[in-house]
Amino acid sequence: MQVKIHAFGIARDILGGSSLSIEMPEQATVAQLKARLCQDFPSFEKLASLAVALNTEYASDSQIIGAGDEVVIIPPVSGG
């Protein structure tokens, strides 16, 4: 299935743009998506943390990505 990813901050810089579509197997999990991103974009491995939101809610690594889900990569945030 095609997964469209939206990215912000340093994640956008790593991807080279604010959105990307990649092919993932049906029933892919968030963990599988993160692994794929690290494989395709090794700079993701250097981030201290990387959160993923599905349909405006933070998602656990075990959550399954459905066709048509809005996927957002949320990079680590610092400051105060």
What is the mean predicted confidence (pLDDT) over 16-31? 95
Q: Which domains are assigned to the chain? A: 2-74 (3.10.20.30)
Give the residue from 29, 3, 6 showing the smallest Cα distance to 75: 6
What pTM value is reported for the model? 0.89
pLDDT class for 28, splitting at 50, 70, 90?
very high
User: Residue 49 has what pLDDT?
Assistant: 81
Q: Which helix (H) or strand (E) holds 51?
A: strand 51-54
